Amino acid sequence: MEHFHHRLKKSSLPFKPPFYNFKIALWTKIATTVAILVFVLTLSLSYYFPSLDSRLNLLITGLIFLGMPHGALDVYILRKILLTKQQFLIGLLIYIGFSIPILFVWPIYPTVCFLFFMSYSLIHFADSDMQDSASSVKKRAIEFLARVSLPFCLPFIFHEKETLQIVKWIHPEVNLTQVKSIFLVLGYISLVFVVVHTILGLLKFFKNLKEADITFLEPLVISVLFISVNPLFAFGIYFCFIHSIKHVVNVLLSIKIPSPLTILPYWLIPLSGLPVLFYLHSVNQDILSERIFQYIIIVLSSLSLPHAILIRFGKSRLLIR
């Protein structure tokens, strides 16, 4: 092979073959491994739980291999910020402490907690998924405004009935009647900024075709997703296969992790609850889609607050991209 490469260097070929100096990037290994695991587990779930919607099987698999590791990596961000073991333990307790009040307040003020949860979640999604940190403040503001309302306000506009049903699953006493007009206005404003962001991206794209960067289309793609797909599945696709993948890759590229095996304990702890959910579903098929769904969302919402704060802090300190 070395002799072959040496001959190529001396040859007058105007191009190099695809396998010349071929290397597999880290993100390619991650994407390939996750794709295989998602495919195998989705098929397995469809076989053992034929009553479950195939789309739900895909989302459960995405949550296992992407959503959960996406949260588990917070441990390494904390370790990067808090150097000593004592500082790390105190930081971990504070992290958990942020989530506990939400668990107790949810049943008392469900509407207020839901709106608070949606507000910081949408800000976190938009902030984390921003594409180009080197852009001007004006362009970043346009991209942020294009992203911030998409995951909830667009479903509220185009799939109001299904969205309200999901909200009732989260908590039956959540009442959004008085704020409905706000969601509609924010949704249409986001669509306007999506159009502006896409036009600016196209102008930049045609101005410099050598870069061939089409990532500016992501807000537009996300808009189409939430307009055309059932809200629950649209959000699952977005959270697992867009937001979580980007976060995992960014953290792995920004923070040196000793070994992927060190992530296992933080991944297996939340994963251990899934067999219980499937057992309950086998006993009563309605329980997974109603009562358990409520508990899952409440727990996730409580944990997402310290997660959002930590990621914003990490970005402000340039610890992660």
DSSP 147-216: HTTHHHHHHHHH-HHHHHHHHHHH-TT---GGGHHHHHHHHHHHHHHHHHHHHHHHHHHHH-TTT---GG
98 vs 63, residue with greater confidence: 98
Q: Is the model's pLDDT at 14 over the cut of 90?
A: no
Q: Is the model's pLDDT at 170 over the cut of 60?
A: yes
Give the model confidence (pLDDT) of 89-132 as tens digits. 888 889 888 888 888 888 889 899 899 999 999 999 999 888 76
Q: How far apart are CA 218 and CA 125, in angstroms?
A: 13
Share above pLDDT 70 across residues of the chain, in percent, rounded to a whole number: 69
**Average pLDDT for residues 28-56, to the nearest whole number?**
66
**Average pLDDT for residues 225-249, to the nearest whole number?**
87
Give the model confidence (pLDDT) of 251-291 as tens digits. 877 887 776 667 767 666 666 666 665 665 565 555 555 56
pLDDT bucket at 154, cuts 50 / 70 / 90: very high
pLDDT the model gives residue 146:
95
pLDDT bucket at 1, cuts 50 / 70 / 90: very low
Q: Is the model's pLDDT at 218 over the cut of 80?
A: yes
pLDDT the model gives residue 304:
87
- Which residue, among 274, 250, 228, 272, has the nearest Cα to 61 in the 3D structure? 274
pLDDT the model gives residue 68:
76
**Average pLDDT for residues 57-79, to the nearest whole number?**
78
Confidence (pTM):
0.77
Q: Is the model's pLDDT at 297 over the cut of 60?
A: yes
**Mean pLDDT (the chain, rounded):** 78
Tell me the longest C-alpha to C-alpha distance in the chain.
Answer: 76
pLDDT the model gives residue 219:
92
Burial class (CB in 10 A: 0-12, 13-18, 19+), 183: buried
Q: Is the model's pLDDT at 194 over the cut of 60?
A: yes
Q: How far apart are CA 97 and CA 95, in angstroms?
A: 5
Q: How far apart are CA 144 and CA 215, in angstroms?
A: 14
pLDDT the model gives residue 299:
76
Phi and psi, residue 51, nearest 5°: -75, -20
**Average pLDDT for residues 24-51, to the nearest whole number?**
64
pLDDT the model gives residue 278:
60
